[in-house]
Amino acid sequence: MPYFYFFSAYGLKEVGDIPLVEALSMFLIVLGHGFTNRKVQERFQHSGDTVSRWFGIILDVVCRMASDIISPQNPKFRRVPDKIKADYRYWPYFKDCIGAIDVHIYQKGITTQNILAVCDFDMCFTFVWAGWEGKYYLVDAGYPQIKGYLGPYKGKRYHLPDFRRGSQPREKKEIFNYRHSSLRCTIERTFGVWKNRCRMIRQMHNFPMEKQTQKIVASRALHNFIRCHSMTYQEFQPYDDNYIIFLRDNIINSDIIKSNSIPTKP
């Protein structure tokens, strides 16, 4: 990741005590590998104060970057996502879908954070923008059926493991739920990449709540930065090829898909 990007766009400046590239390396090893301050001291041979001070500086810079990089690539949602348009499982049934939404809960000791996230179908996190006429987010059955949120049919099989363990979906509502689930799981896969890349999230050290919140925002900004600048990044690949996942599941044959129309949810 070129440190001059931060230097030129978000005001990161050389101050003389350590090189910027080293400061960025310390920040990334904390965020990505969950290193404690002491481990960073041992790796880079700097004092604890220096490590802590530079972590705070870089954290502020990346959070400023987050306001630009965690956003919809197509803010007016005029274009149908390629993932939907190019796949007969989803087109045209989900042509107005603009992303998937989910809530994750992270706990460190007695402190709990509820994290609401929206992603697009390129596995980038985005802001939730309300009020776009006719557009909606895919949600699970826990959300109310209100404008802007499209959930599955209740009382029918929904989760992919349910279909793997049982028979193939035959009737229209089950086929809709299967397609809804296989498309909405983009948010689960996006969270999976993020948590695997950012080990600090799984072993959050003792920081004030404000710093913990900043870390989550910063790690998502870096997630999007990596995704946008390296679409073939190796940590995305196990989650990226939905066609392989579809073949592996092997629960709906093409004759059933092509011969059964499915209803569009109201």
Q: At what angle do helices 3-10 and 48-69 cross, to 10 degrees?
A: 70
**Residues 6+ away with beta carbon under 8 Å from 116:** 101, 102, 103, 128
C-alpha dihedral, 213 to 216 to 221 to 224, nearest 10°: -150
Nearest of 238, 152, 230, 247 to residue 190 by alpha carbon: 238
Instruction: For residue range 190-217, list pLDDT tens digits in order.
Output: 888 888 877 776 666 677 777 777 888 8
Instruction: For residue range 211-234, list pLDDT tens digits in order.
Output: 777 888 888 888 888 888 876 666
72-79 — which CB contacts under 8 Å span 24+ positions?
A: 72/98, 72/99, 72/120, 72/126, 72/127, 72/129, 73/120, 73/122, 73/124, 73/126, 75/129, 76/132, 77/132, 77/135
Secondary structure tally for the chain: helices H, strands E: 11, 5
Q: Please compute the mean of the pLDDT values over residues 66-88 and round it to a whole number.
A: 87
**Residues 6+ away with beta carbon under 8 Å from 65:** 6, 9, 10, 221, 225
**Single pTM value for the model:** 0.59
Range from 67-76, 150-159, 202-211, 222-231 carrying the lowest mean pLDDT: 202-211
**Residues 6+ away with beta carbon under 8 Å from 211:** 56, 59
